Structure 1
Amino acid sequence: MADDLHGLLAGFLQAMTHSQLSEEPQRIAGLVVPNAEGLSKRQRIDLTLANLTREELARFALKFAAHRGDIALDEASRKVIEANDPPLTHITRRDVARAFGDDLAGERSTVEMVGRYFPLSTPLEGFLGSSGRSLRDQIAQHMDRNPGDWSVEYLFGEIGAFDCSRARFGALLEEAVHPLSRSGDEQAQMVAALNNILARDGYELAQEGELSGHPIFGFRPLVRGVGGRPKNLIFASRGPKPEIGFADAINNDIVILSGEESCLVYDRPIGSNGLLWSELVAWWSDFTPGTNAANLGARLQESLASDAERKLFATYFKTYRSVLGEALPALLPQVYLHYDPAVVKTLRHRLPLPRQRMDFLLLLPGRQRIVLEVDGKHHFSENDHPSLKVYADMVSADRELRLAGYEVYRFGANELVGDGAEPKIADFFEKLFRLHRVRQ
Structure 2
Amino acid sequence: MADELYGHVAGILYGMTHTQMSDEPQRIAGLVVPAPEGFSKRQRIELALENLTQEDLGRVALKFAAARGDIPLDEAARKVLEADDPPLTQITRRDIARVLGDDFAGERSTVEVVEGLFPLSSPFEGFFGSSGKSLRDQITRHMDHNPGDWSVEHLFGEIGAFDCSRARFGALLEQAVHPLSRSGDEQAKTVAALNKALSRDGYELAQDGEISGHPLFIFRSLVRGVDGRPKNLIFASRGPKPEIGFTDAINNDIVILSGEDSCLVYHRPIGASGLLWSELVAWWSETTPGADAAKLGARLQESIASDAERKLFATYFKTYRSALGEALPALLPQVYLHYDPAIVKTLRNRLPLPRQRMDFLILLPNRQRIVIEVDGRHHFSENDLPSLRVYADMVSADRELRLAGYEVYRFGANELVGSGAEARVTDFFDKLFRLHRIRQ
TM-score, normalization by structure 2: 0.55
* Residue matched to 2:142: none
SS at match of 1:164: helix
Q: How far does the alpha carbon of each residue in 1:241-275 deviate from its partner, in whole angstroms, 9 at most, with x for none?
A: 11123221111112212111111111111111111
Structure 1 residue corresponding to 2:189, chosen from 164, 182, 205: 164
Structure 2 CA distance, aligned partners of 1:243 and 1:235?
13
Q: How far does the alpha carbon of each residue in 1:93-145 deviate from its partner, in whole angstroms, 9 at most, with x for none?
A: xxxxxxxxxx999878976x668xxxxxxxxxxxxxxxxxxxxxxx9953359
Give 1:204-223 correspondences, 5 Å limit. Answer: 204=220, 221=222, 223=223
SS at match of 1:411: strand
Structure 2 CA distance, aligned partners of 1:145 and 1:378?
62
Structure 1 CA distance, aligned partners of 2:217 and 2:152?
34
* Residue matched to 2:303: 303
Gaps of 5+ in 1: 1-102, 116-138, 178-190, 205-219, 341-347
Structure 1 CA distance, aligned partners of 2:358 and 2:392?
17
Give 1:274-289 correspondences, 5 Å limit. Answer: 274-289=274-289
Matched to 2:356, the amino acid is: Q
Q: 1:231 to 1:353 in 2, by over 3 A?
A: farther
Matched to 1:277, the amino acid is: W
Give 1:313-324 correspondences, 5 Å limit. Answer: 313-324=313-324
* Residue matched to 1:390: 390
Q: 1:290 to 1:386 in 2, by over 3 A?
A: same
Give 1:23-422 correspondences, 5 Å limit. Answer: 142-143=149-150, 162-164=187-189, 166-173=191-198, 203-204=219-220, 221=222, 223-338=223-338, 351=350, 354=353, 355-422=355-422
Structure 2 CA distance, aligned partners of 1:360 and 1:301?
12
Offset at residue 361 of structure 1 (A): 0.2
Structure 2 CA distance, aligned partners of 1:427 and 1:245?
40
Partners of 2:195 and 2:205 within 8 A in 1: no
Partners of 1:338 and 1:353 within 8 A in 2: no
Q: 1:350 to 1:167 in 2, by over 3 A?
A: same
Partners of 1:245 and 1:339 within 8 A in 2: no
Q: How far does the alpha carbon of each residue in 1:40-92 deviate from its partner, in whole angstroms, 9 at most, with x for none?
A: xxxxxxxxxxxxxxxxxxxxxxxxxxxxxxxxxxxxxxxxxxxxxxxxxxxxx
2:435 maps to 1:439: no
SS at match of 1:356: coil
Partners of 1:238 and 1:303 within 8 A in 2: yes
Structure 1 CA distance, aligned partners of 2:259 and 2:428?
34
Q: 1:356 to 1:171 in 2, by over 3 A?
A: same
Structure 2 CA distance, aligned partners of 1:407 and 1:430?
16
Q: What is the total number of aligned residue pairs between the two structures? A: 277
Gaps of 5+ in 2: 1-89, 102-145, 160-171, 209-215, 341-346
Structure 1 CA distance, aligned partners of 2:335 and 2:96?
54
Structure 2 CA distance, aligned partners of 1:401 and 1:107?
39
Highest Rg: 1 or 2? Answer: 1
Moved more, 280-289 or 241-250: 241-250
Q: CA RMSD in A?
A: 4.3
Q: 1:287 to 1:353 in 2, by over 3 A?
A: farther
Structure 1 CA distance, aligned partners of 2:431 and 2:100?
42
Offset at residue 171 of structure 1 (A): 2.4
Q: 1:196 to 1:428 in 2, by over 3 A?
A: farther
SS at match of 1:237: coil
Offset at residue 399 of structure 1 (A): 0.6
* Residue matched to 1:183: none
Structure 2 CA distance, aligned partners of 1:287 and 1:146?
50
TM-score, normalization by structure 1: 0.55
Partners of 1:312 and 1:425 within 8 A in 2: yes
